[in-house]
């Protein structure tokens, strides 16, 4: 009997220490939710009925766009009628919102002129002349100043003014050879709809981007029509200085991702290659942008939530400090009241706490389950419930001793009774947690999960640590001789309240 208790005790201590050690060793850390580390979350709904496939594809596209932001744990998932995007810890929140929400269209535009980056201090202009024109309108319109595209202070057309049919001035995207240039572009001649696939290839020791276009009038034929003009270098697609052919810019999200020269008059469907001085990364990025340029369905932001990193940090600090102070107060109270038994209760709390931390950290690292403010609350509440398991047992011990049992005999007898009470009460908590987890959404779910987890761990710590520990303590000679040390009344006697050691 005694040996069994000792085995349980050593076992649970070993497990909790091992769990904590492994967590540290693997560098697992709890993944903090949006409200604790700042970030962006957007719930997008489709404007028209969308199939699961379309939504899945949208999820994929958004994920690819978001990857560029370098978010550690982006959470992008399909909902019934849209997409849920959660980006905890994202630095550039503006950009994140733009990326996520837009149904960016991939556009092919002839390049009329290449300008250097705008000089700082340039004033924006409203734009003048008839900016809107047919595809393949003559570039001379802009070059001669009859049409001036609208520009902002940075010298490029703002996203709001970037219409497909207009002459625009756009900057290069963040990577590759287009950086630091501004392109004066003609009206769109082709959109991303024409594309079937794109990928990055390593051919002849260089990275290239291969494009496959769709068949028919809206695909390869439209592209070849544009290619023919640019190859020859007509008014709509002039040969720029230093080039031998016309240039077509491929534009996504108002940025020129690449601007290849057209080196052939016509292309076969299955292979158009953009070659150039691509780094591997650039080639992959361009291919990705081409492939996933536009979403298959229009999505609008139904709910948006932005929390700055400072607010998140403040909440986290407040939660941690308040939690620690609260724990310290609980420890003071419980040790003051139950003495050594109180210490057992606190160690029991530490055992379940270390297991909880390990699990939370593991889930955070492996499954991306975030710890939110609601989850922290669930845990704080669970502290009270965990301590209660100890209180129920200790009060039972006191009562039995007052009823005339010896301390040692009551330890074995009271535990099953107290544990049955604890199981009943904890089961009710678990039922509640499980139902909330299944039936609700959002913050409530996080709360339910952590409350349920903490409740289960409370049962574990009570059964495997607290019970055995008290039984082991009851074998010591002190237990019988100095009951006051354990916050218990003297054995068998029926003392007045003054006789016990710890008065409230």
**CA–CA distance, 266 with 198 (Å, rounded to integer):** 18
User: Taking CB under 8 A as the rule, does residue 334 contact another protein?
Assistant: yes
Q: Which of 383, 397, 414, 488 binds another protein (CB under 8 A)?
A: 383
CB of 504 to another protein, least distance (A): 5
User: Taking CB under 8 A as the rule, does residue 48 contact another protein?
Assistant: no
- In angstroms, how far is CA 503 from the centroid of its own chain? 51
Q: Which of 325, 416, 478, 481 binds another protein (CB under 8 A)?
A: 325
Applying CB under 8 A, which part among 226-234, 290-298, 330-338, 459-467 lies near another protein?
A: 330-338
Tokens at 177, concatenated? 């050879």
In this complex, which beta carbon is closest to another protein, that of residue 75 or of residue 458? Answer: 458
Cα–Cα distance list, 26 to 277, 366, 429 (Å): 40, 11, 32
Q: What angle do CA 343, 330, 357 make, to 5 degrees?
A: 80
Q: Which of 232, 280, 305, 481 binds another protein (CB under 8 A)?
A: 305
Q: Which of 333, 366, 416, 481 binds another protein (CB under 8 A)?
A: 333
Which residues make beta-bridge pairs with 201?
208
Tokens at 411, concatenated? 């330890």
Applying CB under 8 A, which part among 25-33, 57-65, 258-266, 419-427 lies near another protein?
A: 419-427
Q: Which of 164, 436, 460, 485 binds another protein (CB under 8 A)?
A: 436
User: Taking CB under 8 A as the rule, does residue 13 contact another protein?
Assistant: no
Question: Of 34, 49, 41, whose CA–CA distance to 80 is shortest?
Answer: 49
User: Taking CB under 8 A as the rule, does residue 497 contact another protein?
Assistant: yes
CB of 328 to another protein, least distance (A): 9
Residues within window 389-418 making contact with another protein, judged by CB under 8 A:
391-392, 395, 398-399, 402-404, 417
Q: Which of 273, 301, 347, 485 binds another protein (CB under 8 A)?
A: 301
Question: Of 72, 97, 159, 167, whose CA–CA distance to 127 is shortest?
Answer: 167
Answer whether 342's CB lies under 8 Å from 348's CB: no
In this complex, which beta carbon is closest to another protein, that of residue 220 or of residue 401? Answer: 401
User: Taking CB under 8 A as the rule, does residue 350 contact another protein?
Assistant: no
Q: Which of 357, 447, 449, 486 binds another protein (CB under 8 A)?
A: 447
Q: Which of 50, 272, 335, 374 binds another protein (CB under 8 A)?
A: 374
Tokens at 408, concatenated? 């040692």
Residues within window 126-145 making contact with another protein, judged by CB under 8 A:
none
Applying CB under 8 A, which part among 2-10, 25-33, 142-150, 445-453 lies near another protein?
A: 445-453
In this complex, which beta carbon is closest to another protein, that of residue 118 or of residue 444? Answer: 444
Tokens at 74, concatenated? 């982006």
> What secondary structure, in 3-state letters, does 328-376 show?
HHHHHHHHHHHHHHHHHHHHHHHHHHHHHHHHHHHHHHHCCCEECHHHH
Helix axis angle, 309-366 to 2-26, nearest 10°: 120
In this complex, which beta carbon is closest to another protein, that of residue 228 or of residue 436? Answer: 436
CB of 367 to another protein, least distance (A): 22
Residues within window 153-182 making contact with another protein, judged by CB under 8 A:
none
Helix axis angle, 467-474 to 2-26, nearest 10°: 130
In this complex, which beta carbon is closest to another protein, that of residue 231 or of residue 447? Answer: 447
**Beta sheet of 272-278, edge-to-edge order:** 195-203, 206-213, 272-278
Applying CB under 8 A, which part among 66-74, 229-237, 260-268, 301-309 lies near another protein?
A: 301-309
Applying CB under 8 A, which part among 181-189, 248-256, 304-312, 460-468 lies near another protein?
A: 304-312
Query: Helices (DSSP H) in 105-233: which residue ranges?
Result: 140-143, 222-232
Question: Of 142, 128, 124, whose CA–CA distance to 186 is shortest?
Answer: 142
Residues within window 98-117 making contact with another protein, judged by CB under 8 A:
101
User: Taking CB under 8 A as the rule, does residue 315 contact another protein?
Assistant: yes
Question: Torsions phi, psi of 246, nearest 5?
Answer: -75, 165
User: Taking CB under 8 A as the rule, does residue 466 contact another protein?
Assistant: no
CB of 431 to another protein, least distance (A): 6
Applying CB under 8 A, which part among 54-62, 64-72, 275-283, 494-502 lies near another protein?
A: 494-502
Per the listing, tokens 């029991």 go with: 348
Q: Which of 6, 273, 327, 472 binds another protein (CB under 8 A)?
A: 327
**CA–CA distance, 293 with 118 (Å, rounded to integer):** 27
**CA–CA distance, 483 with 270 (Å, rounded to integer):** 88
């Amino acid at each position: 009997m005694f040996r069994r208790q000792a085995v349980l005790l050593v076992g649970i201590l070993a497990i909790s220490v091992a769990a904590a050690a492994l967590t540290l060793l693997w560098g697992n850390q709890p993944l903090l939710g949006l409200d604790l580390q700042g970030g962006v979350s957007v719930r997008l709904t489709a404007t028209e009925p969308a199939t699961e496939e379309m939504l899945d594809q949208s999820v994929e596209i958004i994920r690819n766009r978001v990857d560029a932001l370098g978010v550690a744990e982006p959470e992008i998932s399909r909902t019934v009628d849209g997409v849920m995007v959660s980006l905890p810890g994202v630095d550039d929140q503006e950009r994140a919102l733009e990326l996520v929400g837009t149904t960016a269209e991939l556009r092919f535009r002839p390049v009329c002129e290449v300008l250097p980056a705008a000089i700082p201090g340039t004033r924006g202009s409203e734009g003048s002349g008839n900016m809107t024109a047919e595809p393949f309108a003559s570039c001379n319109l802009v070059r001669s100043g009859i049409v001036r595209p609208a520009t902002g202070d940075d010298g490029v057309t703002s996203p709001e003014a970037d219409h497909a049919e207009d002459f625009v001035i756009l900057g290069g995207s963040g990577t590759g050879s287009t950086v630091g240039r501004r392109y004066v572009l003609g009206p769109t001649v082709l959109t991303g709809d024409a594309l079937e696939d794109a990928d990055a290839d390593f051919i002849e020791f260089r990275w290239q981007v291969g494009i496959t276009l769709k068949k028919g009038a809206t695909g390869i034929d439209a592209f070849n029509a544009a290619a023919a003009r640019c190859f020859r270098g007509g008014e709509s697609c002039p040969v720029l200085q230093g080039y031998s052919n016309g240039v077509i810019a491929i534009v996504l999200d108002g940025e020129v991702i690449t601007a290849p020269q057209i080196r052939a008059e016509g292309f076969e469907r299955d292979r158009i290659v953009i070659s150039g001085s691509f780094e591997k990364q650039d080639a992959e990025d361009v291919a990705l942008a081409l492939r996933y340029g536009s979403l298959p369905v229009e999505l609008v932001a139904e709910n948006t939530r932005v929390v700055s990193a400072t607010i998140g940090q403040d909440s986290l600090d407040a939660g941690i400090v308040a939690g620690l102070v609260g724990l310290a107060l609980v420890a003071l109270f419980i040790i003051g009241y139950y003495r050594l038994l109180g210490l057992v209760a606190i160690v029991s709390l530490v055992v379940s706490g270390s297991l909880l931390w390990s699990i939370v950290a593991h889930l955070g690292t492996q499954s991306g389950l975030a710890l939110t403010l609601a989850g922290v609350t669930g845990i704080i509440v669970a502290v009270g419930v965990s301590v209660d398991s100890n209180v129920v047992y200790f009060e039972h011990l006191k009562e039995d001793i007052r009823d005339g049992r010896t301390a040692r005999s009551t330890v074995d007898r009271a535990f099953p009774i107290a544990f049955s009470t604890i199981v009943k009460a904890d089961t009710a908590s678990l039922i509640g947690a499980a139902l909330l987890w299944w039936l609700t959404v959002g913050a409530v779910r996080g709360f339910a999960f952590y409350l349920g987890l903490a409740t289960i761990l409370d049962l574990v710590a009570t059964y495997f640590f607290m019970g055995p520990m008290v039984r082991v303590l009851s074998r010591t000679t002190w237990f019988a001789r100095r009951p006051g040390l354990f916050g218990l009344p003297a054995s068998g006697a029926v003392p007045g309240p003054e006789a016990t050691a710890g008065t409230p």
